[in-house]
Amino acid sequence: MNKIVLATNNANKLREVREILSPLGIEVLSQKEAGCNVNPEENGATFAENAAIKARAVFEAVSLPVIADDSGLCVDALDGGPGVYSARFAPEGEHCDKLLSVMADVPAEKRGAKFVTAIAYIDENGTLTHCSGECCGSIGYEKRGTNGFGYDPVFMYGDKSFAELSAEEKNAVSHRANALKALYALLQSEM
């Protein structure tokens, strides 16, 4: 069976990637399972650059094919921000409140936003390929729902927030799922 290392130890990401890639006969290992303990500084200007930084650092440590992803929220009224600064936008647990307060005076027609995921894949020869996925929606006026994480309670997808969707509903349409579908197509074409 082909082995690929996912540049994370996040159990939710690992499960999602395993579910999508197992039909291709690919065994997905976490960084820890691959015996790799690197944590490079994600100082790229784009999601793709950050994904590539992570993938390259892990590839150099394990010498196996590697997948790394980087995601965030891009808000029209903030010129695409917080973007690559999504995690650093506010202290843990305060991201939604800060975004709502920054957006307090923004009218409905200017509240468009999208989640973006970039994936970097490095094959056994060290060749890097990128793919990505998006999910478009808007920023609500209050926090709604208790599922998910991060900006999910304020990201409106149709008439529900991401935090009001079940994990299955979110995983069917999310930026990460769309990027993983693109990765699936890429790996399928290589086998």
What residues are annotated to the active site?
A: 70
Nearest to 120 by CA among 41, 26, 57, 61: 57
Give the residue, chosen from 86, 132, 161, 178, that forms a contact with ligand IMP under the rule CB under 6 A: 86
138 binds ligand IMP (CB under 6 A): no
- Work out whether 87 is an interface residue with ligand IMP (CB under 6 A): yes
Q: Could you identify the residue written with the tokens 């994370």?
A: 8
d(CA 139, CA 153): 9
Residue 133 makes contact with ligand IMP by CB under 6 A: no
Question: For ligand IMP, which stretch binds (CB under 6 A), given 17-25, 101-109, 136-144, 149-157?
Answer: 149-157
Nearest alpha-carbon partner for 72 in 97, 106, 44, 104: 44
Told to check if 152 binds ligand IMP by CB under 6 A, we report yes
Contact status: 150 vs ligand IMP (CB under 6 A)? yes
Asked whether position 157 contacts ligand IMP by CB under 6 A, the answer is no
Minimal distance, residue 97 CB to ligand IMP, in Å: 13
**Min dist. Cβ of residue 27 to ligand IMP (A):** 22
| Count of residues that bind ligand IMP according to CB under 6 A | 15
Query: Closer CB to ligand IMP, residue 121 or residue 162?
Result: 162
16 belongs to the binding site for ligand IMP (CB under 6 A): no
Query: How many Cβ atoms from other residues are within 10 Å of residue 168's Cβ?
Result: 7
Q: How far is CA 146 from CA 4, 142, 162, in A?
A: 33, 13, 9
Q: Does 72 bind ligand IMP (CB under 6 A)?
A: yes
Q: At what angle do helices 175-190 and 11-21 cross, to 10 degrees?
A: 40
Residue 111 and residue 125: Cα distance in Å, rounded? 44
Q: Which stretch binds ligand IMP (CB under 6 A): 32-40, 53-61, 64-72, 183-191?
A: 64-72
3-class secondary-structure state, position 107: coil
